[in-house]
Every structure is written in structure tokens, then in C-alpha cells.
Amino acid sequence: MIPIPQYIPFTQAQKEQAAATDLEAFLQSRGEKLIRSGREKRLVSDHSVTIRGGEWYDHAEQRGGNAISFLQRYYNMSFPDAVQALLGGDFKPPEREQPKPKPFALPEANTDMRRVFAYLTQTRGIDSKILLRHTIDLIATKGYRVGNIDATVCAEHPKLNPHIPQMQTCLARVMGIDEDCISIKATTTERLGFTGREEGISAYATALIEKD
């Protein structure tokens, strides 16, 4: 089972407050030792890292950032965990109204199956493997079969490489093809975009369909 960070609907103000947290005071409250270096402070555990206000800089790697990215990098925290830790007692999840149950209704016809897939898995709660198997059976009735799959998953956290063999085995069993016909790669966006901020995961896949 791959641990997925819990989604927490932070407000923009909460994200900005967490990012601007005084790193020096925060780290000292956690027992981290700092030494003065001019107008900045250095980590005793890593002299190449300097802290000033809510920002840090790693002189060895020539990269830095705000308080959130510091906890992500040096404490191996996800984006939600880092924001929540920095907010501390000031964190209060925004109140969300419970949606009223909606009567069952089929989605509007659409040429893009992504909306239909999202409706069936998220709204109706159908296991995506069931839909995948149904799709394989459906193309088989038309005289086609899956030749191979090439998929890429973009995620900063969790690290997926250790789980790729298990994912290939699962997909191969559902689709009825050899594991060698399934390629799954894991990558990151180098901290860019919503996947880089660990606010979500994106995936891309290409399937070769052959005449049976």
C-alpha cells in the first residue's frame, strides 16, 4: 500500500503564513542548533546551509527557498505536513459545508472519456481496475487487444520506484498481458507546478492497440 499524503484544503493566506515562518525560531524550538555567521545563522549539522528569517540557502548545492521547502528537503515532509507543522497552533482547517446528496444522474455525453472515468471512480466509487478490465473486454469484442503500455507518473512524494514492479504485476493481471509489455516510469517536475509543491500527482499513459 503506497502512502498518499492527506489532502488538506489550506487557504492561500495559510500557505503564505507558513512560507514566511521565522526558520531560526522554528528550528531552535525543535532542538536544532544554529551558529551565527554574519547576519545569518548556519546549521551545526550542515555548515553549508544558512538561515535568514524565513529563507534558507544551501551554498554547496546553490539552491534555497522558503520555510516550507526547507522542511520538505531536510525533514522529508510532504507539502501538507510541512505547512501544518509551520502553522502549529495557528492551523485551523477551513470549515466546509457538507454537500447535500444529489439524485443519481448520468453525466452529459462527452467525447473525452476522462470526465466519465472521473465520475465513475470518484462520484460512484467504482474501483478503477474494474473499469480497466471492462475496457479490455470492450475492445476485445471489436477484435482488438492491448499490445503494450507506456506510462509515466509525476510525483515528488511518495517515491514510486520501489513500487513499480508491484504496479506492473497488478496491471498485467487485470489486462491479461505479460508484465514485459508494461513500462512504468516515475519522475518529478523538479519542484515546479502543483506536483512539485506535492499538492497532487499527474500521470500520462500511451497504449498500443493491435488487431487480434
Measured in Å, how far apart are the chain's first and last C-alpha atoms? 35
Q: What is the pLDDT of residues 112-136, one digit of tens each?
A: 677 777 777 777 788 888 888 988 9
Closest CA to 191 of 63, 10, 85, 52: 63
* Cis peptide, bond prior to residue 5, ω within 30 of zero: no
Confidence (pTM):
0.46
pLDDT at 91: 47
Tell me the CB-side half-sphere exposure of residue 50, using CA atoms within 13 A: 12
Q: Which domains does the chain have, with CATH numbers?
A: 12-90 (3.90.580.10), 113-211 (3.30.1330.50)
Contact 51, 43 (CB under 8 A): yes
- The pLDDT value recorded for residue 39 is 85
β strands within the chain, DSSP E: 34-37, 40-43, 49-52, 55-58, 63-66, 144-154, 182-187, 202-211
Q: What is the mean pLDDT of residues 96-115?
A: 69
